[in-house]
Structure 1
């Protein structure tokens, strides 16, 4: 991992490896640096206040303390800590082109960065597996108590994986190569092994598991939709009249709990897509930094690292926007936090009748089918 300390090529080495002695680098132009910092200040504000509202909603409203909402609140908390503990130092370094916080804090900032990123990824992974169990395996085993235990375990694992960077078990130096501590080039097998483990824990393992889960879920949705279509065609008008109003309502009543638990699938899928878009470039960048000396010592490394780090921070801003867009209860709770004097438009009255959607019909035979 590496971060810059001066706008020239001098550096403070924290171990004996100095792969880029005498190399030059190209910083961002002054106007572009100011633009980046302005955007990052806005991202810090949105990341903090947006995610704080999510946490407050779950904390203040007992009805919102379901297992998945506890997981989403933990994801929001990790994004808050990332916005407060890492992004401001990166913004300062971008504008000054100088690491002003010392070599030891370089290690601490690296540890905090990976800790909060790992925790956020772990929560997305847990939610994806939970959706897989509910929709594909038809097993709803996650309750609030178990969710709290899993959250505590995920924090412990994330800390254990990120902690080696702060105690000097990995290659860390402080050259003028990036606006914060990042994985840097090293030829030591132990350092490369740790870097691969870190990259696998942050991206490869979660991405593989989540991708498999969502492919299975989408396949289940497709099969159930086909069964519903075939069942509707085979059901005659006389059979419908025999069921009566109570018979038609029975499938929805039997599946109301499962229906509630599967509404978040599309939202979680969008979060997964956002995670992939934000972290795939960072993963490729980290691999090249560790294994390619030519890439790590190139003059364009500083500019590349700035763009990549900005994209990785974008995920913490992306999540609360998705919550308010996709989850009605969060959107309504957010409006409750806004003072009445700031509510320009009155709330429109809700519909008295809900639209019937084919996706809410889950039973095609005696066996329950969840989409």
Structure 2
């Protein structure tokens, strides 16, 4: 399979048929790991049926949901504020990921090889990392927007403008497009027994350095920043006696803050398993490529990370009356 988020799947050990016997060959170790027949069948069922079905559901729900989010924010002037502009940007990143990455990953799981060539291998990998970075740093911007609104409600009014939000969003995309260029060059088509796989080229680049760096910059650091902002924010928000604002205004701040926090929690829960897997694999890649339980964990973690791209519209519908009404209007 393709390398997909840094050796998330089984590309290093394609399943091959040897008469009636199936085995997984760990090319990196140049050794064969023989699983039981039941374990082999379980993995093939996962890659051939369950994962593509899961990806199909993620793609369908994500496309409909994120298109609705974009339509609601774009067509309703009353929805155009800094928070919703950032929500719009998050939906665009998720939509790009769903269209450009999910279908090819599903094909990759079914075929257990990469049939799309080098350019598309690098393009898909590049966009996976770009959209992951854009998503988490959009969440940082959303948390920062809430932080300013709650902790500095008056003095931040000149900062929390639509124009500044647009500049921040554009800068985020440009910076991430540029700093993610190493992802393009670090992936390659590697062949094993005549079968092509889209992989991280560990012969030319540091597997450990790449994935530890990704973990720190795309997960650990932004999540810590968000947590710090929320700790300060919640302490101020719930100490409502320090604010000279109406109860209705305080309620509105709490409602929006809860929504942003729910989106952050969803991202953290969905992405933390695969982030941990990547770090552990960078320390001991061979075990993760040959042990049945760890292969299954990788597959499940991969699906969880992809699931995040369809969750946000559901959270908006559950927690925001404005989005619920907007979704109903668009559907009419």
Do these two structures clear the TM 0.5 threshold for a shared fold by scoring above it? yes
Residue 197 of structure 1 is matched in structure 2 by 213
Task: Quickly say closer, same or farther: Cα 1:146–1:181, change in 2 above 3 A.
Answer: farther
Given candidates 265, 270, 273, the residue that maps to 2:265 is 273
> C-alpha root-mean-square deviation of aligned residues, in Å?
3.0
Contact 1:93 / 1:99 at 8 angstroms: preserved in 2?
Answer: yes
Contact 1:109 / 1:181 at 8 angstroms: preserved in 2? Answer: no
Pair 1:171–1:275, CA change in 2 (3 A): same
| Aligned positions of 1:250-265 closer than 5 A | 251-252=245-246, 256=249, 260-265=252-257
Whole-Å separation in 1 of the counterparts to 2:42 and 2:124: 22
Larger Rg: 1
Secondary structure, aligned partner of 2:246: helix
Q: Does 1:321 find its partner at 2:321?
A: no
Q: Which residue of 2 aligns with 1:84?
A: 99
CA contact (8 A) 2:125 2:183 kept: yes
Q: How does 1:1-371 map to 2 (within 5 A)?
A: 1-2=6-7, 4=11, 6-8=14-16, 19-24=28-33, 28-32=42-46, 33-138=48-153, 139-140=156-157, 141-166=159-184, 168=185, 170=186, 172=188, 174=190, 186=202, 192-224=208-240, 251-252=245-246, 256=249, 260-300=252-292, 302-339=295-332
- Once the two structures are overlaid, the 10-residue window that deviates more, 21-30 or 69-78, is 21-30
Q: What secondary structure, in the 3-state scheme, does the structure 2 residue paired with 1:147 have? A: helix
Query: Under a length normalisation based on structure 1, what TM-score does the superposition of the two structures give?
Result: 0.72
Using the alignment, how far apart are the partners of 2:227 and 2:198 within structure 1? 29
CA distance in 1, matches of 2:239, 2:313: 32
- In 1, distance between residues paired with 2:220 and 2:119? 29
**Distance in 1 of aligned mates of 2:151 and 2:203:** 44
Could you tell me how far 1:171 is from its partner in structure 2? Answer: 6.2
Farther off after superposition, 214-223 or 262-271: 214-223
Aligned length: 301
2 CA distance for matches of 1:269 and 1:93?
34
Larger relative strand fraction = 2
Structure 1 unaligned runs (5+)? Answer: 10-17, 229-249, 340-371
Which residue in the other structure is 2:24 paired with?
A: none
Specify the alignment match of 2:22 in structure 1: none
- Displacement of 1:338 in angstroms is 2.1
Gaps of 5+ in 2: 1-5, 18-26, 35-39
- CA 1:101/1:51 → structure 2, altered by over 3 Å: closer, same or farther? same
Contact 2:122 2:187 in 1 (8 A): no
TM-score, L = length of structure 2: 0.80
Structure 1 residue 130: Cα displacement: 1.4
Contact in 2 for aligned 1:27/1:302 (Cα 8 Å): no
